[in-house]
Amino acid sequence: MVFCVEVFGWGMMMLMGAKLLFNFCNFFYTTYLAAALGHNLVPKIKHYGSWAVVTGATDGIGKAFAQQLAAMGLNIVLVSRSPAKLQHVSEEISRQHRGIQVKTVAVDFTDGNTIYPKLKTELAHLFGQIGILVNNVGTKLPTCPIADVPAGEQFNEIINCNVMSMVRLTNMLLPAMRKKKRGLIINIGSLSGTGFSPMRTTYGATKAFVDKFSCDLAAECRSEGIVVQSILPGYVATKLPGLSGKSSFDVPTTKAYVEAVLRSLGLETRTAAYWFHKILLYWTELLYFFVPSLVQKLTVSFIGRKAQMANVNTQE
Ligand SMILES: NC(=O)c1ccc[n+]([C@@H]2O[C@H](COP(=O)([O-])OP(=O)(O)OC[C@H]3O[C@@H](n4cnc5c(N)ncnc54)[C@H](OP(=O)(O)O)[C@@H]3O)[C@@H](O)[C@H]2O)c1
């Protein structure tokens, strides 16, 4: 009996060791090595189509996507809210990347159903050539208890912007991708969509939707040559409400973050992409599995402190 328990114990230890070793090698391969060896989809990116559509493309992560995809030789459709910023980014990309075509579409995704006929009209002549869709647009509510959000319309707006934009654009562009049997859909979720997200309940829930939708869509489309990726960033240095815009080792610049996403292209269905965010995702999901109530307590105190600091900063 003692011998059996001993053999079982050693077996379990070896299994866990092998799993840890696999996770470490896989982390290194998907984060750096595969891209260096050309095993990701970047070398074949133009095979998917000559145009890419990026939402929320005039600032932050979306702008970095537009710039880096243009640098790879793709024509870009910039979809965002402010016509002046669209014009500015379009000119910047055209200046930096000669020969690249840039089209702009100004819509406010918080408006809901009314914007999609316009988007369809603007994009229809490119349907056959659009190979890449980056569903990036997103917005946040103030970090506070849900009962303190003053206006109910804000919930419609965040759901329209973070969720409906992705679902409607995917539904609009997927039929042409299926016909060609190739396409690449990159959906930007957030680490807030995993684990607990107190005081950001609505934002976290919209991002959990993005993650679930993307993973299910990836499974649905795999056999049709369409690659879908769920990207789960931690903090990135942007002007998203509540962020300072400053970068550090754990808060990458938008350029560094998008480079990390592109390195992971086609390798992982669900990834935080940037090395530090990947470690964060791994440990939070592991702790969430083993000690959920401890993670809940730690998250409440961490986000509570952040919210307090943000309030102090806005009052100053
Ligand atoms: N930054 C982070 O730390 C972080 C972390 C996790 C996830 N994310 C996710 O990453 C995505 C991009 O975030 P970001 O930080 O790069 O944001 P950002 O710097 O605030 O840029 C947002 C972009 O989206 C556009 N936009 C915002 N609201 C819009 C609307 N209602 N209709 C049309 N366009 C709109 C903005 O255009 P205008 O300038 O014209 O408004 C801008 O081009 C979001 O989905 C966000 O949830 C970000």
What does the pLDDT look like over 102-148, one tens digit per residue?
Answer: 999 999 999 999 999 999 999 999 999 999 999 999 999 988 888 88
CATH number at residue 190: 3.40.50.720
What was the pLDDT predicted at 1?
79
Q: Which residue has the tokens 């002549």?
A: 125
What was the pLDDT predicted at 298?
86
Which ligand 1 atom sits closest to the C-alpha of 191?
A: 6
What was the pLDDT predicted at 240?
76
What was the pLDDT predicted at 144?
87
Q: Which residues of the chain have pLDDT under 70?
A: 242, 307-316
d(C-alpha 269, C-alpha 265), whole Å? 9
120: which residues sit within 8 A by CB, 6+ positions away? 172
Residue 289 lies in a domain: yes
Of 54, 55, 59, which is best to mutate to test ligand 1, by the most ligand atoms within 8 angstroms of its C-beta?
59
Residue 152 lies in a domain: yes
Q: Is 203 a catalytic residue?
A: yes
Tell me, in angstroms, the distance from the centre of ligand 1 to residue 17's CA. 40
d(C-alpha 237, C-alpha 249), whole Å? 11
* Structure-block tokens of residue 64: 């970095």
Domain around 113: 36-315
| Active-site residue, selected from the candidate residues 203, 235, 257, 274 | 203
Tell me, in angstroms, the distance from the centre of ligand 1 to residue 281's CA. 21
d(C-alpha 308, C-alpha 152), whole Å? 23
Residue 7 lies in a domain: no
DSSP bridge partners of 185: 133, 228
Residue 11 lies in a domain: no
Give one word for 104, left, alpha or beta, with left for phi > 0 and alpha for psi -120 to 50: beta
What was the pLDDT predicted at 315?
47
Answer whether 86's CB lies under 8 Å from 106's CB: yes
Residue 149 lies in a domain: yes
Residue 20 lies in a domain: no
What was the pLDDT predicted at 316?
43
Which residues have C-beta atoms less than 6 Å from ligand 1?
56-62, 80-82, 85, 108-110, 136-139, 161, 188, 190, 233, 235-236, 238-240, 243
d(C-alpha 102, C-alpha 93), whole Å? 8
What was the pLDDT predicted at 313?
54
Tell me, in angstroms, the distance from the centre of ligand 1 to residue 226's CA. 25
Residue 163 lies in a domain: yes
What was the pLDDT predicted at 142?
86
Residue 154 lies in a domain: yes
Number of folded domains that form the chain: 1
